[in-house]
Structure 1
Amino acid sequence: MSRKSTVSSILRSAGMPAVALISMAFFGYYAVLGPNGAMAHPEVKQQLEARQAEYQRLDKQRADLKNRVDLLDPEGADPDLVEELARKKLNVARPDEVIVPLK
Structure 2
Amino acid sequence: MWTRHHKKKKIGRLILPAVTIAFLSYFGYHSIHGVYGLRASQEFERQRTVRSAELAELVAHRQQLERQVELLSDGSLERDMMDEKARYQLNMSRPDEIVIFDDYLD
Q: Which interval holds the TM-score relative to the shorter structure?
A: 0.5 to 0.7
Distance 1:99 1:51 in 2: 37
Would you say 1:52 and 2:31 are equivalent positions?
A: no
5+ residue gaps in structure 2? 1-18, 101-106
- In the alignment of these two chains, the number of paired residues is 80
TM-score, normalised with respect to structure 2: 0.59
**Which one-letter code corresponds to 2:78 in the other structure?**
D
- TM alignment of 1:1-103, pairs within 5 A: 30-99=30-99
Kindly, what percent of the aligned residue pairs are identical?
Answer: 34
CA positional deviation for 1:78: 2.0
- Bigger share in helix: 1
Give ranges in structure 1 of 5+ residues lacking alignment. Answer: 1-17
Give the superposed CA RMSD: 2.6
Alpha-carbon distance, 1:29 to partner: 5.4
Structure with bigger gyration radius: 2
3-state SS, counterpart of residue 60 of structure 2: helix
- Give the letter for the 1:65 counterpart: L
